[in-house]
Amino acid sequence: MNATASTPKAVYIPRARLLDPSCDRNETGALFITPEGKIAPVPAPLPPEDSLIVIDRPGLTVVPGLCDVHVHFRDPGMTDAEDLVSGSNAAANGGFTRVVTMPNTSPATDSPALLDYILNTPTAVSIYPSACCTAGRAGEACADLEALAAAGASCFTDDGAMVAKPQVMAAVMRRAKALNKVVMDHAVRPDIQCGGVIRDCPVARTYGLPIFPAEAEIEAVRDDIARCRETGCAVHIQHLSCAGSVELIRQARAEGLPVTAEVTPHHLALAAEDIPGDDGNWRMNPPLGLRSDRRALREGLLDGTLTLFATDHAPHPKALKEKGFKRAPFGIIGLETAVAVSWEVMVRQCAMAPLLWAKYWITNPNRLIGLEPPTLCEGAEAEIAILALDDEWTLIPEACACKSVNTPWAGKRLKGKALATYHRGTLRFAQ
Ligand SMILES: [Zn+2]
């Protein structure tokens, strides 16, 4: 082994915007990481050149590592689409250092053995796996939530499906509350969705596609809020997409209920009216809302009704996504475009404060699952993302770390990207 290659080096960023929601810091400054991986004052003199990595270029922003509470790594079961290693590499490329994997694997993540497998696989980011609410994600009987929590489940969800039976959801929430865990719900009522794939829009009419009504989500959110009121358990609504749901969340939070909701970059940036044709890469669940829904989601984030971003990174093999709107599976990849899309829409177009953007990617996702967020403060273990928010680039999906290429941004120009992350003592440049 080469001794010099294995010797940890210090990292020095002489000039960057330091954006840290843990201490409301948004200022230009320098950042130094010791060879032991701690954030420290810049020493004078600097360490010798051969034991120092300097990252010096204009336009850098340094933030604590981003956290995504909604990713599908398809492992075990569908590893031709993604696996724990490729998904984690995609996350690191996107500026994330922590992710919450969804349990709609095959078999479903409803056992301590599967959590052990996920937690013991070496990956580029920290994975905090969710586990199922119900056995086999079948929606009928509570999973062994106590055993799953003891094995390291960060939260409970049947994502991909709602826990639709009220008495089952109430039982899940009572047990989750006793464990001090949040229940996340894919709030879509199957009896109202009824096989729908797209909101009523020009492309839906041209191709005669089955309609996925907004009420499928709105009524599900209403149900989840009712169960929250009944049990007192913290409930988190995944991938919100409709104006009507935003209003229900606003009322529930005004009532003091522990209800939170996330929004994906694609629901913020795109709308059903923009769908270009019968293209499976525009099919997601819930579907893209109308422009009026998109406006309500943006306003909900700006006024603090909705308090976090999440990608719902959902890789699928190309052959399946080529089947068109009616037959392709739901979902798009999102980890490697999240920074670009969310910064463009919310900060550049909607004038969201950069610190609020950072809070929605860092502070609030961590708090949701009971973690202390990382920080840029001196003395902290370094866990950071180095961003170039003004860099323009073209998304070539085949060049991404993700194994799948299902994204409506393929070939599109984007602005803003992650250049590197520093996590667990390792500086990792995006590939
Ligand atoms: Zn979902």
Instruction: Provide the residue-wise pLDDT of the chain in tens; the chain has 431 residues.
Output: 344 446 899 999 999 999 999 999 999 999 999 999 999 999 999 999 999 999 999 999 999 999 999 999 999 999 999 999 999 999 999 999 999 999 999 999 999 999 999 999 999 999 999 999 999 999 999 999 999 999 999 999 999 999 999 999 999 999 999 999 999 999 999 999 999 999 999 999 999 999 999 999 999 999 999 999 999 999 999 999 999 999 999 999 999 999 999 999 999 999 999 999 999 999 999 999 999 999 999 999 999 999 999 999 999 999 999 999 999 999 999 999 999 999 999 999 999 999 999 999 999 999 999 999 999 999 999 999 999 999 999 999 889 999 999 999 999 999 999 999 999 999 999 97
Residue 62 Cα to ligand 1 midpoint, Å, equals 30
Residues in a beta bridge with 418? 387
Q: E strand or H helix at 393, and its extent?
A: strand 384-394
Separate counts of helices (H) and strands (E) for the chain: 16, 15
**What pLDDT sits at residue 26?**
98
Rounded CA separation 332/314 (Å): 5
| Residue whose tokens read 């003395």 | 379
Residue 337 Cα to ligand 1 midpoint, Å, equals 19
Residues in a beta bridge with 71? 101, 313
Taking alpha carbons only, the member of 50, 62, 56 closest to residue 8 is: 50
Residue 431 Cα to ligand 1 midpoint, Å, equals 28
Three-class secondary structure of residue 111 per DSSP: coil
Residue 1 has a CB neighbour count (10 Å cut-off) of 4
Q: What is the dihedral of CA 409, 412, 418, 419, to 10 degrees?
A: 140
Q: What is the dihedral of CA 383, 389, 391, 393, to 10 degrees?
A: 80
Rounded CA separation 402/217 (Å): 29
Tell me which of 274, 312, 390, 391 is the catalytic residue: 312
Per-residue DSSP letter, 10: E
To the query of whether residue 278 is one of the catalytic residues in this protein, the response is no
Residue 425 Cα to ligand 1 midpoint, Å, equals 33
Between the two ends of the chain, the Cα-to-Cα distance in Å is 24
Q: E strand or H helix at 176, and its extent?
A: helix 166-178
**What pLDDT sits at residue 6?**
64
Domains observed in the chain: 3-62+377-429 (2.30.40.10), 65-368 (3.20.20.140)
